[in-house]
A and B are shown apart, each in its own frame.
Chain A
Amino acid sequence: MAGPAAPAPRLNGCALLALLHKFLRLALEPLRFVLARSFPPAALNPLHHLGALTIFFFWIVLVSGIWLFIFFRTSVDGAWESVEYLTHQQWYLGGVMRSLHRYASDAAIITLALHILKEFAHDRYRGARWFNWVTGVPLLWLVFPLGITGYWLVWDQLAHYVAITSAELLDRLPIFTDSMARNFLTVEALSDRFFTLMAFLHLIGLPLFLVFGIWLHVFRLNGPQINPPRVLMAGSLLAMLLASLVYPAVSQGKADPAQVPEALAFDWYYLLVYPLMQAWPAGAVWALLLGISLLLCLAPWLPPGRDRRSAQVDLGNCNGCERCAVDCPFGAITMEPRSDGTAYASEAVVDPTLCLACGICVGACPTATPFRTRTALVPGIDLPDQPLAGLREEIRERAERLAGTQRVLVFGCAGSRGLRRLEDHQTAAVRLECMAQLPPAFVDWVLSRGLADGIVLAGCRAGDCQYRFGMRWTRQRLERERDPRLRKRVPGERIALAWSDRWQAHTDLRRLLADFRRSLGSPAAASPAAGRRRLAQAAAWGAFAAVVAALSVWPPYRLLEPGQAMVSLTFSRAGQRVHECRRLSQEELQRLAPNMRNPIDCPRERLPVWVEFRVDGETLHRRAHPPSGIWKDGESTVYRRFEVPAGSHELFIGMRDSGRAQGFDFELRQQVPLASGQHLVAEFDHVDQRFVFR
């Protein structure tokens, strides 16, 4: 039987994106495979609960965070000391809570990243799903600052680095006129007040928005999964406890603005972007972050978009029984007052902006029975692109070609692979969009009318249905736990459910088919013995804990090469006015409106401030720093960091704030010994009007 000739492959944007989807699916496959082995049944595979697991980690973070908050003091010295107290004196509780707080937030990034990757790879972000995808992007902008402000609060060396780098990043935004980074460069500049602000952001501000954001992220779904299965909750909590006990989170020495640590144990989950700040200008880092966000936001509308028409209600066959609305995983169907003047009270109405055209509603409709032959088979709700009557014809046609006494009809869904290749003289395959699109009456019909001797429902990834509830509804309908139920008379041993927890590839489905054909019964799932399974699960959680803890501190990030010191040049200085004040003449005043007649005109614009910095006569910096403010009337802010080899150097700073073309208004030349790892800050003392090194 020759299929239609495949169109010649065209390499365009669509094909590339589809290829990317496929590549990512393949890349995730080994992980899925390993986890599927350790976590039977498939409904327990952690890969199928990534969103819920992320939320669960958030709960762990919340509970442990409340404990930390009880002991936390919001001041420069208090912050560090209270965290030290928790970590060492109260290690059995506070220390564990601190580690849990850290590792659970790290774990959340892993599950979050996998969640995004998986939804993308399985093409679950387009069409009506755009809303869930796009509302996920702001969540990222909340989660990362939440983690970063957390590192800030500890006020250790990493915190100091985070503070300075974050401030440098924020300084790039046009809303700050002065440099915020300067607040963290010297001990004198630090303020307790700042910790109150950080604590507010970290404890109340960001989490509040995050909870609201999560609600927005899922509220369009029908029955969103907020909590993972209990086994997974227990497992992930134990894994986090394991990491916390074996490798407790500790601080890295109190923050000391006068020192630059050579290397920092670095949390790569939250701070991945920060090292870029050393290589790139802050503007480029912003461009990267905003560019990624923008790309994510636009992704649902990039090709190849599939344009499947949404489900359509046929009022002549709809009595308003509501089953389609109850079963729709996307809340696309609502019951509205009857519009056709019949005696019925309500009717189903499809919102095309929410409908994914999966057909689960068709499978739920009581009128969708193939035994209807007196009138045309038009169910109360149907898919225009794959109408039920056409499906019945397709099944009949394919089944009629089968021969023998072990004829099997395989139903696949959009996610099942290699369906066509299964076909032979006693096997036929029919592809649905979703397994739950098949009304149970069709199973009854195929078997009772002798169209086939057995039916295999070979759906997509077990526990990871493309349309959320396709498998669950199918199974429940067949087991008579959900409407419409399969009739009792249908022999269960002639139906095999083959979600892919038991087969990985085409060959495995073939084997299953052979087994099924032999018995024409439902083969019992051969899962590993409970003991071995526990062991495998424990190993999986252990590995997860190890990965979480490892990337949380390793590889260390090198801030300075050994034998180097750092000099920061940082001050604000208002340049002189560009124009002198002058008295307006009488004629000029007359030309102005009466309320605008100010006799003295002082243009606000200031001159740029010229700054040069030399080490041993070598110029490292010479530049004009423009005044801030839209009227160019603010201070010029200078903030630059320089790496200088340790040793004694002659440092020179020169500045001119007047209009002179040569020489400097202020300068400082000094021989300074620099130790390895030392952080020297060059400031301008506004009281004494001179440069100082601190």
Chain B
Amino acid sequence: MTLLQWKPAYSLAIPAVDLEHREMIGLINECYERMGSDADTAAIERFLGEIHAGIAAHFALEEQLMLRSNYPEYGAHKEDHEDLLDQIRDFMDRFDEDREAGLRLLQQRLADWFGRHFATFDARLHDRIHT
């Protein structure tokens, strides 16, 4: 069962960003699968820490690209990034309290967020950079 699916439409045609998007989706999917099974808490924690660091670095790169291209909605996009990082950190500390709720959270929040993020912000960034 995969949580997130990479679609060609997600592509920003920026090789570095696309590469990291794919890596991130892969990592999140792998983590989601582990959580479904009886993986031990420590292993999942390790995954989440990796996801957190990866996404943080990825956002840093995206933000730099936005600043470089004078992307007008940088402020909103940046806040969106910070929100997700906050949420992931919340999740990292809480998933173990209730594995089921944790799963739901991951599923809803992360999947929602990624879907929304790709459809709106990154798409606009793509338009901005390539026009």
Contacts and interface: CB of A to CB of B under 8 A. Distances in A.
Given A367-B57, A489-B90, A483 B50 contact: no
Interface in B2-49: 15-16, 18-20, 45-49
B64 interface: yes
B116 interface: no
Interface string B45-76: 11111101100111111011000000000000
A367 B56 contact: yes
A131 B59 CA distance: 36
Contacts of B93: 448, 489
A47 to B, nearest CB: 35
Interface in A565-613: none
Given A483-B63, A484-B56, A374 B16 contact: no
B106 interface: no
A343 B50 contact: no
Interface residues of B, number: 28
A343 B19 contact: yes
Given A343-B15, A374-B47, A374-B49, A319 B20 contact: yes
B128 interface: no
Nearest to B31: A374
Contacts of B89: 444, 448, 487, 489
B64 A322 contact: yes
B16 A369 contact: no
Nearest to B48: A371
A484 B63 CA distance: 12
B100 interface: no
B97 to A, nearest CB: 14
Interface in A333-371: 342-345, 366-367, 369, 371
A375 interface: yes
B16 A344 contact: yes
B77 to A, nearest CB: 14
B15 A489 contact: no
Contacts of A444: 89
A366 B49 contact: no
A490 B57 CA distance: 20
B112 interface: no
A323 interface: yes
Given A343-B19, A484-B60, A374 B86 contact: no
For the residues of A in contact with B, the DSSP-based class is: loop
A319 B49 CA distance: 18
A448 B82 CA distance: 18
Contacts of B18: 343
Interface in B77-131: 82, 85-86, 89-90, 92-93
B60 A321 contact: yes
A488 B90 CA distance: 10
Given A344-B16, A488-B86, A369 B52 contact: yes
Nearest to B68: A322
Contact of A371 (B15, B60, B92): B92
B63 A319 contact: no
A319 B15 CA distance: 12
Contacts of B48: 371
A685 B53 CA distance: 90
Given A489-B86, A489-B90, A366 B53 contact: yes
A372 B90 CA distance: 16
A319 B57 contact: yes
Contacts of A323: 60, 64
Contacts of A485: 82
A373 B49 contact: yes
Given A343-B16, A444-B89, A371 B49 contact: yes
A147 interface: no
B38 to A, nearest CB: 18
A257 interface: no
A396 to B, nearest CB: 15
Contacts of A343: 15-16, 18-19
Contacts of A319: 16, 20, 57-58, 60-61
A467 B56 CA distance: 26
A321 B45 CA distance: 26
A366 B15 CA distance: 20
A478 to B, nearest CB: 14
A320 interface: yes
B57 A371 contact: no
A366 B90 CA distance: 18
Contacts of A367: 53, 56-57
B57 A374 contact: no
A380 interface: yes
Nearest to B67: A322
Contact of A487 (B16, B45, B57, B86): B86
Interface string A218-262: 000000000000000000000000000000000000000000000
Contacts of A484: 56, 60
Contacts of B57: 317, 319, 321, 366-367, 380
A514 B19 CA distance: 50
A371 B20 CA distance: 19
A371 B53 contact: yes
A343 B21 CA distance: 12
A441 B20 CA distance: 21
Contacts of B86: 487-489
A446 B74 CA distance: 31
Contacts of B64: 320-323
A280 B97 CA distance: 85
B81 to A, nearest CB: 10
A487 B46 CA distance: 19
28 contacts: A317-B57, A319-B16, A319-B57, A319-B61, A320-B16, A320-B61, A321-B60, A323-B60, A323-B64, A344-B15, A344-B19, A369-B49, A369-B56, A372-B50, A372-B53, A374-B47, A374-B49, A441-B56, A444-B89, A448-B89, A448-B93, A480-B82, A485-B82, A488-B82, A489-B86, A489-B89, A489-B90, A489-B93
Interface of B: 15-16, 18-20, 45-50, 52-53, 56-61, 63-64, 82, 85-86, 89-90, 92-93
Q: 4 closest A-B pairs (Cβ-Cβ)?
A: A371-B49, A321-B60, A343-B15, A374-B46
Given A372-B52, A484-B56, 4 more contacts: A320-B64, A323-B60, A373-B49, A441-B56
